[in-house]
Structure 1
């Protein structure tokens, strides 16, 4: 009977995770800011056959290592559908992360603790939100968590040399995914402290050659990508490949950390990020801190390793000026694991239950108010959706009904859960929010968020036989185009793209059109002869025929300053 109950509880977790994280798979295209970029690179890998040197249009893309793009391209090769292929790496990575957390909790404590840890992670808003996006971060979180899993299996449950080696190898895979996979090895710092203080259960004894296999496994994982990339770059002698190699190995790693050039934030940024994005689990920290302290005083190395590593990650990313919330996302699984042994006791507390109930009530009321406002009036955020995102009123009306339905579900969940089980209302409400977001929100937002609607409209206007060139374009425009299009560089200044596009158009003026972003419409373009296509992703777009040009396309000083300002803003963020 116990085995049957354990099986039911595990499969309930597995089914819920698949439902929450996988809802909406195949119902949308890539959305900005990063998803179209990575998917476009993966698509060009498939079409060109060049998997070592990723391209964005005609230019090399060296901002990130190609691991995510490789997986997306591989899944497309297997499935033949980009709507499935571009999100599958994130989905599988998130499920793998949950599996590692569950099994580690089971081995370090009990099966029940493993379940609590996985449930806490699954419904941490930051984790679920990122897991439903096709970005690099879910993959990094998985490799870092897998590395932590292997290291802790040896350090706390060992000796387990194969898991020790796997942990180092997974850290190396994390390095070639985003560069920060090496942070998993910070787990050795609190482990050495525990060993030095002679805390029980820590296994750090040297065993000859087996100890040194681990760093070799770490290096071997990195060399899987580094050796063929560097060898090809050196063998071809291409200046473009050399520039790619220098940028991705040096500028995008150590230099970016030491001299951050974007996303500048205060040193305490993450102290605000965790309470706001790691909810609802982080709501219990005020009660968890005294309990953690008591266990540390009892010399329990499990808490020292998990909490010490979490604090080291936060400290590491608090040092540079550049900060983003996703930087510390890899620390969230270990935070949930350290919290999980306390949850059975904390959830029996009346004050904890009232905090969780208050969280659910506030979320429900906000959803209800937003839904009613969108149906009964014209709130500012509705106008923003309509003006900046190009979403029509039928979509905002549908969103209003969705808000009312979700808010009502939250209130009903509170009523039926009872005062001693408000945590079930939290799970019920968040599960419904995420499932609705995938099944209803994806189709509602897709045309405007992915630029699919804009590009299809532009294609219909110019006809099937016309040629199209992009000026001031973003990745979603090239990805969603219904035909082969001409581009004139991506990082090149927008006004120079317009000049090159005009020359290209002049070669076949009756056949070629330019799709131009609004800030690049200089005085040389007669807007009366151009067609305004619409707005997508906060950008206005124009179809410009050859006869709309007159004079030279040389921006004035004011226009040049404005274009540079706009391009810089779009280069840094969507």
Structure 2
């Protein structure tokens, strides 16, 4: 038999009354403190405890880890540099937090990922708070479980890129706006929450540029166009809020432009306008590029989407005008009650469409939409019938079984210049992840029968987080060699401070971080072309210039692709330090323990 709490929650109507909200709060408060503590501890251990169990991947993880390392080492927190060259593609907030993490805890993998893990956790907490305020404490808990177990959110929170740092800030923007617009909010509380909203936008602008204010602004315009609620704009505390946002974001922009006059054109024209309107960054994709990413990123909760759409259509959470005493007095006929479900839905849809229309696409771009989805999912789950939830669990059982049966296909791959042996190793982890998905759905069905829906959803969410964490951790089977960590020890024995470390035709994003030594680019500047143009003396633009420096310059080490090594070793002496399937590390001087290339050639074929 369904629990009485589930029968009450399953009644139709998504407009919680004060009595319902009080009941939800009481129900949440009645949960045993030990149970709550154990659940929170388990999620926190899995969330933060796995940060250092994988090596960094290129390009993003290694790039931002190294930028922060160079920032901390140089003491220059204004002019961003990567491999010693000016790097103005992104603002510095993410790198600032990472550099602080290094200063506090040392330089390493988990320290490099701490910023994104914290951003994901803060965004999750803010979304829970806003959901609980509008839809009840039970819905707030559900929203947190949904967001924590959504693959796009938890994977992004364990991958050192700016996407999750931006998403965490944007989640705070949405949550603060929702909290400020609640009809029971006092004028002082509304002001505080709106100032928090504007401050979060300032952090977003300081993380990834104008998108941090453009997207919330676009959502707000669309919301008022749909609802015709122009009075909302008078409740935004815009003068004080804009001043606060500018106070957070503008000082760095002003300082970096003062020190680097070339910054403004590159950052705002090349990195904003051209990135969005053209394919100049070679990251194009079809209009439906993000559809499979959305499906996979929200996979455990896809069955809720129809109910989430209905929640928006039925104006879920809208308060009755009789309970708007705390709003500024105005004629009742002009009053437009705020629609939290519509705001959350427009938030998700707007971000999805905005990036779908962009000329530059990467998977993490749509991560900021997931807090909006989680808020709607929490509102829906708080009243979903037991039978409906059981159907969702059975569907995930089938998805896990299909994934388990299909996992051997991974062992047949040989793509992206990655040896098949590495894919064979990862196939085992993928199969384990699918088995955990099945086990989690089965356990949730058992919990549903024995302990009710709240226990079932909690167990299911934790199982999904565990399954996708295992899938991510298992990628170390491929990522370890990609990171080059096995080359670090032999190179470090030969490399000395101040010795040139050349990247010949390749920008290695991870080895410089692990070696604590920046690259000097040769022949191909790659994404460092802007910095190389500003400081041409800091790189070698041709192979001939490299050959001359290699033969007549100081002792040096170079990183090359196997193909480039085969070509250049015929021209100049190269002493092999170490190599893997992606790169060969060589020195221009003899040293003890030198490898013999002819012995390694059969095991390490050149990869085109």
TM exceeds 0.5? yes
What's the CA shift for 1:63? 1.3
Query: Are positions 1:282 and 2:293 aligned together?
Result: no
Q: Which string of whole-angstrom CA distances, capped at 9 and with x for unpartnered residues, describes residues 250-280 of structure 1?
A: 3111232223422222223334432232222
d(CA) in 1 for partners of 2:435, 2:289:
34
Query: Are positions 1:388 and 2:418 aligned together?
Result: yes
What's the CA shift for 1:221? 1.9
SS of match in other structure, 1:328: helix
d(CA) in 2 for partners of 1:390, 1:546:
34
Which of residues 540, 545, 550 is equivalent to 1:505? Answer: 550
User: What corresponds to 1:543 in structure 2?
Assistant: 586
d(CA) in 2 for partners of 1:317, 1:403:
29
d(CA) in 2 for partners of 1:435, 1:196:
43
- For residues 9 and 114 of structure 1, do their structure 2 counterparts lie closer, same or farther at Cα, with a shift above 3 Å needed? farther
User: What corresponds to 2:357 in structure 1?
Assistant: 319
Aligned ranges 1:255-334 → 2 under 5 Å: 255-261=274-280, 262-295=282-315, 301-334=339-372
Instruction: Give TM-score, length-normalised by structure 1.
Output: 0.79
Q: Which string of whole-angstrom CA distances, capped at 9 and with x for unpartnered residues, describes residues 486-532 of structure 1?
A: 554844699945333322221258x5443322343474532997549
d(CA) in 2 for partners of 1:315, 1:545:
52
- For residues 105 and 8 of structure 1, do their structure 2 counterparts lie closer, same or farther at Cα, with a shift above 3 Å needed? farther
SS of match in other structure, 1:156: coil
The answer to whether the Cα contact below 8 Å between 1:123 and 1:280 also exists between their aligned partners in 2 is yes
Which of residues 256, 264, 267 is equivalent to 1:229? Answer: 256
- For residues 354 and 115 of structure 1, do their structure 2 counterparts lie closer, same or farther at Cα, with a shift above 3 Å needed? same
Gaps of at least 5 residues in structure 1 are 234-240, 548-565, 567-574
User: What corresponds to 1:253 in structure 2?
Assistant: 272
Query: Are positions 1:172 and 2:202 aligned together?
Result: yes
User: What corresponds to 1:163 in structure 2?
Assistant: 193
d(CA) in 2 for partners of 1:342, 1:468:
56
The answer to whether the Cα contact below 8 Å between 2:556 and 2:587 also exists between their aligned partners in 1 is no
Which of residues 480, 483, 487 is equivalent to 1:447? Answer: 480
User: What corresponds to 1:244 in structure 2?
Assistant: 263
* Structure 1 vs Structure 2 CA RMSD: 3.6
The answer to whether the Cα contact below 8 Å between 1:455 and 1:477 also exists between their aligned partners in 2 is yes
Aligned ranges 1:115-514 → 2 under 5 Å: 115-157=141-183, 158=185, 159=187, 160-179=190-209, 180-182=211-213, 183-193=215-225, 196=228, 204-205=233-234, 210-231=237-258, 233=259, 241-261=260-280, 262-295=282-315, 301-346=339-384, 348-350=386-388, 352-364=389-401, 366-367=403-404, 370=407, 379-381=411-413, 388=418, 396=424, 399=426, 402-403=429-430, 405-418=432-445, 426-437=460-471, 441=474, 444-445=477-478, 447-459=480-492, 468-471=501-504, 472-481=506-515, 487-488=521-522, 490-491=525-526, 496-507=541-552, 511-514=555-558
d(CA) in 2 for partners of 1:470, 1:109:
55
d(CA) in 2 for partners of 1:145, 1:36:
26
- For residues 161 and 304 of structure 1, do their structure 2 counterparts lie closer, same or farther at Cα, with a shift above 3 Å needed? same
The answer to whether the Cα contact below 8 Å between 2:127 and 2:375 also exists between their aligned partners in 1 is yes
What's the CA shift for 1:59? 1.4
d(CA) in 1 for partners of 2:517, 2:85:
19
Deviates more, 1:284-293 or 1:516-525: 516-525
d(CA) in 1 for partners of 2:540, 2:569:
12
SS of match in other structure, 1:308: helix
What's the CA shift for 1:450? 1.7
The answer to whether the Cα contact below 8 Å between 1:281 and 1:336 also exists between their aligned partners in 2 is no
- For residues 30 and 61 of structure 1, do their structure 2 counterparts lie closer, same or farther at Cα, with a shift above 3 Å needed? same
Higher RCO (Cα < 8 Å, 6 or more apart): 2
Q: Which string of whole-angstrom CA distances, capped at 9 and with x for unpartnered residues, describes residues 132-185 of structure 1?
A: 111111110111111122222222343411111221121121011002211223
Q: Which string of whole-angstrom CA distances, capped at 9 and with x for unpartnered residues, describes residues 394-453 of structure 1?
A: x955x5654555454444444444375675674354233244357x63765553132111
Instruction: Give TM-score, length-normalised by structure 2.
Output: 0.75
What's the CA shift for 1:341? 1.4
d(CA) in 2 for partners of 1:514, 1:211:
54
The aligned length equals 519
What's the CA shift for 1:22? 1.6
The answer to whether the Cα contact below 8 Å between 2:116 and 2:157 also exists between their aligned partners in 1 is yes
SS of match in other structure, 1:475: coil
Aligned ranges 1:517-532 → 2 under 5 Å: 517-521=561-565, 523-526=567-570, 531=576
d(CA) in 1 for partners of 2:482, 2:241:
44
User: What corresponds to 1:561 in structure 2?
Assistant: none
What's the CA shift for 1:73? 0.7
What's the CA shift for 1:119? 0.7
The answer to whether the Cα contact below 8 Å between 1:93 and 1:138 also exists between their aligned partners in 2 is yes
d(CA) in 2 for partners of 1:361, 1:428:
19
- For residues 346 and 46 of structure 1, do their structure 2 counterparts lie closer, same or farther at Cα, with a shift above 3 Å needed? same
The answer to whether the Cα contact below 8 Å between 2:68 and 2:99 also exists between their aligned partners in 1 is yes
d(CA) in 1 for partners of 2:293, 2:407:
24
SS of match in other structure, 1:295: coil
User: What corresponds to 1:84 in structure 2?
Assistant: 110
d(CA) in 1 for partners of 2:33, 2:387:
28
Deviates more, 1:64-73 or 1:266-275: 266-275
Gaps of at least 5 residues in structure 2 are 1-25, 319-336, 450-455, 533-538, 591-607
The answer to whether the Cα contact below 8 Å between 2:195 and 2:240 also exists between their aligned partners in 1 is yes
User: What corresponds to 2:600 in structure 1?
Assistant: none
d(CA) in 1 for partners of 2:291, 2:246:
33
